[in-house]
Structures are given as structure tokens and as C-alpha cells.
Amino acid sequence: MMQTWSRPVKTRIVLVAVLALLAFFPFAGATFYTELVTKVMILAIFALSLDLLVGYTGLVSFGHAAYYGIGAYVLGLLTPKYEAANLWLTLPAAIALAGLAAFAVGIFVVRVKGIYFIMVTLAFAQMFYFLFHDTRLGRGSDGISMNFKPVATIGGVTPFDLGNATHVYFFVFAVLVLVFLFLRTLLRSPFGRALQGIRSNEHRMRSLGFPVYRYKLASFTIAGALAGLAGYLSALQFGFVNPELLSWHQSGNVLLMLILGGQGSLYGAAVGAFAFVALEEVYSSITTHWQLLLGATIIALVIFLPGGLASVAGRFKRELIG
């Protein structure tokens, strides 16, 4: 008798295969591709943070890049001019300050809904953008260049060298796995189930006695902190930050990643980040107007595959196998 595999088992097999592929990738590719995949994994963390809001809480934010940029600027501002910053001091600071900023903004924005929520998050993000663009804090449009990568020294021991592209790759890879597992555990907890209930029917959750405002504020804060983590990693990789990291089109890009991959699916958020960068690289090699091709691809995807790339396997099974 032919053995059939359950969906969770198949998912685990695919996940293990993808993780194994990522783990061995630096040994097979050139430094350029190692750095490119590192960038994609950072964007995947960014997309995962937004998916907590959009896909699981039902809050469509158009200002999520603000916390991404704050996390990046924390590293830039805390890095001394003539020596390296310490990873284990600056990384928690970036996460904490991005989360604190998200908490402060969330106190106001989670009170509104729909288009008003989108516009208010955009307004706050632009405020942060001009804070770094028009003041001496962020050094204006020139941004901040870091002469040294952070050091991972702890207790006199340096477990890895962040000046090495391969070491940075594996560090980001480990952070991506930890963020994925954290969100997966969070969303399977009573807190995560409550968030999904709020997305489905906020009025019913409120009538059942759930403090909806507090749940939404907590989700907004956690998402902002994780976005700050992604921004910190981006600054760590490139050694440079500027106000464009907080701009509205950066928020638009991460929303496009969710549309490409599929909202409400942690796998979809990661797949969307990989797909977005892959399409950008392919189309930019074809024409300087690659944004037109990317836009047409996203429109076609929304029309013919509204569930995103993460729904391809399930749709294939329904259509061909039944």
C-alpha cells in the first residue's frame, strides 16, 4: 500500500530542505551571492515582522519602515568614529528603541481602523523620516557611514567575525530562524489565537471580553521591534544608513513582498522577500525601467494568484489532484 504523507510532515520536510540549502549555500556560491542572500534574509525578517500586523492582526501599516530605519540608525549613532561597537550592546538597544517607538506610535494609531490607520501610520513614518533627514541627529541626506563593523566579543571571547561576509551570513541566518520560530510559537499561543480572532471579527472578540486595544498595541510593538532588528542587520551588513531606510517606498516594498508571498503565512513572508529580490535582479538586468515589469508581475499575481506564491502548492493539488 502506498504511504501518504500528511500536510504537516510534508511542510516539515520542505522546511528542513530549505534550511539545509541555505546552510550550505555560502560554500557553493561566490561572495557576491552570499551577500545577496544575506540581504534577502534580512528583508525576510522585515517581511515577517509586517506579516504579524497585516496577515495575523489585520492592521495594514504603510509606515513600517520607520522602525526598520530606527533600528539601523541606532547602530549608526552608537558606533564610535575610531573603534568598533559591541554587538551584544547595540543589538538589544536597536530592538528596544524600535519597539519603544512602535509602542509610542501604537498608543495613538491602533485606536483607528481601515484607511485612517494606513494614513496615520504613514504620517508618523514621515515624521520619523524628516527627523533624521532634516536634523543633525541623522546627519541629513548624507546619512552615517560606519568605519568598523560591530565586534561580537563577550567575556574576552570573539565567537565570530562580523567583518567576514560568511560569518555575517550565518549570523543573519540564525537570527532569521530564531525570528521564525518565535513568531510561530507566538501565533500558536493563546495570544496569537486572539490576534487572529481580532482580524476575523474584532467586535465579537470585544464582546467576549478580550481587551482588543491592548492586543493590537502589543502586536504593533512586537512587529516594530522585529523591524528594528532587521534594520540593525541591514546597517551591520552595509555599514551605512541614510533616511531613505525610513521612507514610504520602503514600507511599500515590504508590503509588496507580502503580496508576492502571501499574507497570513510565515512561509509566504519569507518566500515573498526572496521573490521580490529575485524579480528585481532579473528585471533590472533587462531594462532600466524594471519597476514597470515588477508592477505588471504583481498585478498579474493579484488577479490570477490572490493567495500569493505560498498558495501555489495547495492550488496545484486542488486543481490537478483534487
pLDDT tens per residue across span 245-256 = 998 889 989 999
Q: What pLDDT score was predicted for residue 322?
A: 53
Q: What pLDDT score was predicted for residue 3?
A: 47
Residue 222 maps to a domain:
yes
Segments of the chain scoring below 70 in pLDDT: 1-11, 29, 311, 313-322
Instruction: Output the average pLDDT for the chain.
Output: 88
10 Å CB burial of residue 98 (0-12, 13-18, 19+) is buried
Q: What pLDDT score was predicted for residue 83?
A: 87
12-51 pLDDT, tens digit per residue, is 777 788 888 888 888 876 788 899 999 999 999 999 999 9
Q: What pLDDT score was predicted for residue 295?
A: 86
* pTM beyond cutoff 0.85: yes
Number of domains in the chain: 1
111 DSSP 8-state letter: T
Residue 11 maps to a domain:
no
Residue 237 maps to a domain:
yes
Q: Work out the angle between the directed axes of helices 165-188 and 190-200 (0-180°, nearest 10).
A: 70
Residues 100, 295: Cα–Cα separation, whole Å: 34
Residues 64, 141: Cα–Cα separation, whole Å: 20
Residue from 152, 160, 136 nearest 73 by CA: 136
Query: What is the domain extent for residue 201?
Result: 38-245
Residue 72 maps to a domain:
yes
Residue 26 maps to a domain:
no
Residue 303 maps to a domain:
no
Q: Is 154 helix (H, G, I), strand (E, B) or coil?
A: strand
Residue 65 maps to a domain:
yes
Q: What pLDDT score was predicted for residue 99?
A: 96
148-173 pLDDT, tens digit per residue, is 899 988 887 888 889 889 999 999 99
Residue 77 maps to a domain:
yes
Backbone angles phi, psi at 238, to 5 degrees: -95, -15
